[in-house]
Structures are given as structure tokens and as C-alpha cells.
Amino acid sequence: MPDTAKPSIHVFGRLEPLCPSPGVGPIDLLWEAKDNTLTASCSFGRYENNKHVLQGEAVSGLHATIDWNGRKDPMSIVTITDYSVNGTFVDEEKVGQTVTLQLFDGSTVYFGSQVRIRLEQADYRYTFHHYHGRSKTESVYTHYTIGRQLGSGAFGTVFKATQKVSGSVFAIKTSWNTIDMGRAVLCAAQEAMAMMKLEHENICKLHEVFFRLDGEIADMVLEYVDGVTLDVFFDQSLSELHAKELSYQLCAAFRYVHREGVSHGDIKPNNILVAGTVRPVIKVADFGLARIKGNMNMTQLVTDHAWTAPEARQQILTHGDDVTVAMCSDWDSWAIGCIIYQLLCAKPPFRSSDPQHMGFRPNDDSINWAPLDRCSAPAQHLVKELLVEDPAHRFQVIQALGHAWLAGYVPYQVAFNGVRFTKLPAPGAVLEGTPDTSGFVDGQEEGVDVDAEGEDEDEDDMDMDVEVEAVAVRARHQSRQPPVRRRVQPRRGETYRSKAGPQQLVGRPTPPARKRAHGKH
């Protein structure tokens, strides 16, 4: 039985043997502090310089590493990376060489063999106990295999995931309540309500939602595809035709959203995602601050960024919970005006006079109209009608596709091959969606921001680059020890997971998307 006593502050998990013996006992997984640096990487294998030496014929010199990201909340993440010949098995599935998978409380971890070894002292099969993270018995984990983290923000963290039944790849956005963000799950519920109303080629699709019964965690299953965030196009000096292509798709998305009685309320380039850069397709994401006509809405929040409407903060102070969908729709129109300006001019329409509040301040800031002079008269007119300080006289996005600049335009016909990108994202920015597949894209291992404001983390939180550290550990071991050659004889009928990892599994065709809520098993 596992030790239920409160663990030492230096212990982040434990491996409990399935068949304890004098040679195989519990393994406490520790983090260490050296030279003001926190390290939480544990190596396993036959070589003596491993942190945990496992003496067995089925064990490689460097067999695997287990790493912790240092967090002590629901986003406490432990991963395992396999470097072995005979295999490392998590929940009886082979991981695959150089593949990294996430471990959950209750996961089984086998080093070298799935079956019991005759020699008791070499039976390295364990149950993993995680002192800070989530359990594998939660509903979302019975339906999805969770891959690496794609990004994080103030309202959640996004992971790559594979649906177990179909093999289809999705993104899972997990939100949880904290002392600072006690309404994060309520925000996720409101986002899910908004997205369930929307079905459009330029809107990220919601597949399903899991709400834990204690009300503390929500998991939204979303689309997943390659792409970039819209701000990649801001510094490219686009032609007016390229700017029109992106502007049309953006306006088409929000004309539909507003007609459905939903307002986004937090439009910014990080929430506008573009699938592909040859014939790009816009996807609008992150409806966490949306307002929905005729539904219960949480107290409206507003974030300060360069696309925040000038009246937004005062309206919230004045109206509180009574901020209407129409008011938020006006905010959306202003933000879209700022974005179209920047697509046309490759620079923002104004510079804020207050570095603490990046939004437009009517009494202190002014819009620089001069760069628009190089654009056509209809393009100038649309932008100037959207960037009107008084929302009562501001042009509405719902009318934009009837404006002279966009009327009659046919999208998806313009190729962007000739656009020379001076600022491409790191491989895989956090994104959602294409019209016909599914949508968050791979993010940088660290630093990809799903929500622009980010998240203030506790000082004792550690950001671990697990992959880099694990590869470095492997390189150190290989430089010190000769390679071990061993012939592997697969059992009859056995199939191995691709080295590319669970995201490459091929299964049955994806069933029609269903939107449903699940409770904890």
C-alpha cells in the first residue's frame, strides 16, 4: 500500500511497485535545489550515473526520465520520456523511443517489460502517485490521451490530445479555480455556452466539454490544426488585396457571431488564428469573455490591450452586470477597425499615452490617419467608420460585408505565396482550427500565450523545459557509456505505437462532433 503520510516538501511523486521485493521497493521522486536552480528530473536505467539505477536484463543503460514542471496546482504536470530498446509502458501502452507522455496519479509505469519478470529483483513495474496533480480516473482522461502542453494563459492551459476511440487529434483547454481566478470555471462555462451556439467556418469548433463534479475544473475539447496568430501578418507590408482577404474573413466571422446574439468582448490578434499561410483561413478563438443574448452572463471583465474600445472600461464601471451584448458588439467593431488598419498599414493606428493602459484614451490619444493615404478610398472609409470614438456613431461589423470595400468579394481565392514573412512564429504557435479539420496548433514549449494577459504564477513555481533537459540527460549518458545492442523479439500479434507519439495514431474516421458535458467518474 502507498504511504499516505504527508510527503516531504522535496517529494513530487512516488513509484509504488506492483510486486514489492527485497530488490524492488518504492521510489520517491525528488526535486532538488542547487545554486539557486530547482531541478526535478529523474533518470532511470542500468548505468550507475542514473539517479535511480535499475539492474535488469530488460533495462537499457538510460531507460527513461521522469520530469516535473514544479507546479502545485491542477496544472502540476509530470512527464515520462522513453529512451529504451525494450520499451517503457504507461498504462500498458508502449511509449516509444524519444516520445514524451504525461503521467497522472494512478498511472502504471513499466520499465522494460509489460509482464512479471521471473526474477523478483528485476520486476520494475510500478503505480505512479502524483502528490499535486490530477488523477487518471477523471472522465476526460478515459476518452483522451493527453500530450504535451501547447500554451497557457490567465484562464487556462492548453494541451495536445488524442481521442482514444478515433485517433483524432484535438486541443484540450483546462481551466481551474484559484484564489486569484475564482471564476475561471464559470468563465469556461460561459465560453462553452457561446461556442455551442456558433457553427461557422471562421469560428473555432467546440467538440465537447467535461466539468468535474466538484466545480473546480473544466476541460474544453477544441479543434487542432497548424497555423499562426494574426499578428504574424502585421509586419509584412501586405498588399491591399492580401489585407482585404484577411479582413473579409474576419468581418464574416463577426457578422455571423453578432447575428447569433453573441459578442466576443476581447478581440485581439492572439485570439484570431490563421490556419496556413498560402491560402490562409481565419479562425476566431477564446470566447471566455463573451456575452450571450438572453442567457445568464457573469460580471463582464475588460482587459487592457491596444485593441480595447475607448468606452469599455467606463461602461463596466457604470453598468456592471448590465453591460449588454450590444455594448460588447461595439467593442468588437472598434477592435476589428484597429486590426484592419494594422493589416493595411503594418503599424498600429495610435500609440497609447499611458503604458499601464494600452487601450485608446479619447482625451489623450489620437489616431494617425496618414499611413492610410496609400490605400484605396473605400478601404480608408471603412476603417475610419469603424474607428469612431462614440459607439453610437460607430460602424457595425454586421454591416461591413455590405460596405463598398468588401461588397461582392469572394474569399479563399488569393494566394499568399509572395508574402515574405519577416517574423514567423516558433514551430507551432497556439491556434485553433481550419474549416474542415480540427484546431489548436502546437505551441512553443514555453512562452506561448493563449490569453494575451498571461498568468501571474507563484514565486515557487518552476518552468521546466522537460524536452531539452531530457535530451541533455540522454546525451550525457551516451557520451559516458557505450551503446547497448539488444535484439528485440516482438510477441506474436504485438503492435507498437509510432515513434512520432500518440498524435500520429491512426484510427477509425472521426465520428460527428457531439457537444456534451461529463461529470467525474
Q: Which residues are annotated as a binding site for ATP?
A: 173
Q: Can you tell me the distance from the alpha carbon of 127 to that of 248, in angstroms, rounded to the nearest whole number?
A: 54
Question: Strand 206-211 to strand 517-518: parallel, antiparallel, or no bridges (unpaired)?
Answer: parallel
Other Cβ atoms within 10 Å of 495 Cβ, number: 6
What's the number of CA atoms in the CB half-sphere (13 Å) around residue 95? 33
Please report, as a single letter, which amino acid is at residue 152: S
Cell 516535473, located at residue = 68
- Edge-to-edge, what's the strand order for the sheet holding 52-53? 52-53, 41-45, 64-68, 78-82, 100-103
Does residue 517 sit in helix, strand or coil? Answer: strand
- CA neighbor of 76 nearest in space, from 286, 217, 185: 217
Q: Can you tell me the distance from the alpha carbon of 432 to that of 438, in angstroms, rounded to the nearest whole number?
A: 7
Contact 66, 455 (CB under 8 A): no
- CA neighbor of 101 nearest in space, from 466, 490, 471, 405: 466
Residues 132-135: contacts with CB within 8 Å, 24+ apart? Answer: 132/12, 132/71, 132/72, 132/73, 132/76, 133/74, 133/75, 133/76, 133/77, 133/78, 133/104, 133/105, 134/74, 134/104, 134/105, 134/217, 135/104, 135/105, 135/106
- 217 - beta bridge partners? 176
Cell 532538488, located at residue = 32
- CA neighbor of 466 nearest in space, from 106, 80, 107: 80
- CA neighbor of 290 nearest in space, from 207, 396, 193, 154: 193
Q: Can you tell me the distance from the alpha carbon of 305 to that of 323, in angstroms, rounded to the nearest whole number?
A: 19
Does residue 365 sit in helix, strand or coil? Answer: coil
Q: Can you say whether residue 421 is alpha, beta or left, with left for phi > 0 and alpha for psi between -120 and 50 degrees? A: beta
Binding site residue list: 173
Contact 170, 478 (CB under 8 A): no
Contact 212, 519 (CB under 8 A): yes
State how far Cα 45 lies from the chain centre. 33
